[in-house]
A and B are shown apart, each in its own frame.
Chain A
């Protein structure tokens, strides 16, 4: 095969890479309209489809489910807080077989425990301040600096024995690494959009809640 023949076939093959199907424009628009503008416009033509729409209104992502999920999240936070208050401060004991505990935190891991607890506290502070920063529309330079510092700590912790022996902590740190890497690369201009997307992703994945639960588990692990 000559180079020219290969060029021609290559161009054809490139155009055939993941050929998109016809976009379902109407179907996508219905959902976009409902999510952004609220209830859809009611027309005579729409009435025939009203039953299907009523069902869709109760899908995940609708305002009603959003409120329900927010309520559950609030209840979880209160539950974690009440659980911690009722447990009090307990000594650190190794118990690797118990479900739901962060496993590494034996008495000989005190330096890692302190470092991780401090790191998680700082991370929660940064992440909880994000929505306000997003509302302002422009990321504060201090955010980027702090995120960069925390990203370094995250990577150190990921390489530590604590993360190596505790898969749940490792997963959490990997999630935080992704978030902090995005924050540390926010452009000085036009960063508001990215900040909003990051904030939404955090909310969708309950990252702050998970970090708080981890901090509570590690700092008062019994």
Chain B
């Protein structure tokens, strides 16, 4: 039984017109662009990166516009909390811009920033979870972005509970592939794993979901 299918989406395009007034404060000086030598980075994106490295905040906004929505979507799917998703997305872009001089263009910028987003989100979730565990009792703690695990006949609730119960790496792979439409190559690059590992994790995730939903099929 083929249970799950990826939801493919097109890449975000520059959809907003930027309105920037007179710059009255000179931008912070930054090191000159690193060599962006690979074809994986489109020409216009390379130009944007070079301008950001020269301190051009308008270029920063343009690059942000291209990737922010997708990064935010992924971060929210992973953490399930609107405020945390906002904070983690901001941290992701600040860190990406701060480390942009080290971006060599060997992978697509989108892949690179998604890798940062995953790392920022995981670190942030662990930190918040630990803080909550220390500050509140287990009975009062609702968890990070979890859904209710009360008995609920609705399939959506069952699937949400089953996804939440997956191991961290398996859950991320399922969310990225079957919900957000990332390819195995993108997942492998973002999570720092082999493509084969991504595929086996997805297989494992689907198997666990089938198992979790087996009772529902019988009903």
Residues of A within 8 A of B (CB): 1, 3, 6-7, 9-18, 20-21, 23-25, 27-29, 31-33, 35-39, 41-46, 137, 171, 178, 185, 187, 190, 192-194, 196-197, 200-201, 205
Contacts and interface: CB of A to CB of B under 8 A. Distances in A.
A3 B159 contact: no
A187 to B, nearest CB: 6
Contacts of A15: 7, 179
Contacts of A197: 95, 116, 119-120, 123
A190 B38 CA distance: 15
Interface stretch (B42-50, B86-94, B135-143, B195-203): B86-94
Contact of B155 (A9, A27, A42): A9
Given A10-B159, A10-B213, A178 B126 contact: yes
Contacts, number: 147
B3 interface: yes
Consensus secondary structure, chain A interface: helix
**In the complex, the 3 A-B pairs of residues with the closest C-beta atoms, listed nearest first:** A43-B21, A20-B76, A23-B72
A17 B146 CA distance: 11
B192 A187 contact: yes
Interface of B: 1-5, 7, 19-25, 27-28, 55, 57, 60-61, 64-65, 68-69, 72-73, 76-77, 80, 82, 85-86, 89-90, 93-95, 97-99, 102, 106, 112, 115-116, 119-120, 123, 126-127, 134, 145, 155-156, 158-160, 163, 175, 178-179, 192, 209, 213, 216-217, 219
B3 to A, nearest CB: 6
Contacts of B64: 25, 29, 32
Contacts of A185: 192
Given A13-B156, A41-B57, A45-B21, 14 more contacts: A7-B3, A17-B160, A20-B72, A23-B86, A24-B86, A29-B68, A32-B94, A35-B90, A36-B94, A38-B28, A42-B25, A43-B21, A193-B95, A194-B119
Contacts of B68: 23, 25, 28-29
A7 B2 contact: yes
A6 B213 contact: yes
Given A17-B159, A41-B21, A33 B99 contact: no
Contact of A193 (B25, B69, B82, B115): B115
A3 B1 contact: yes
A43 B160 CA distance: 45
B69 A23 contact: yes
B21 A205 contact: no
27 contacts: A3-B217, A6-B1, A6-B216, A14-B178, A17-B175, A17-B179, A18-B145, A18-B160, A23-B89, A32-B60, A32-B94, A33-B60, A35-B94, A36-B60, A38-B25, A38-B27, A41-B23, A42-B25, A43-B20, A44-B21, A171-B134, A187-B192, A192-B99, A192-B102, A193-B95, A196-B99, A200-B95
A31 B97 CA distance: 13
Given A36-B98, A41-B25, A25 B213 contact: no
A187 B107 CA distance: 15
Contacts of B1: 3, 6-7
B90 A28 contact: yes
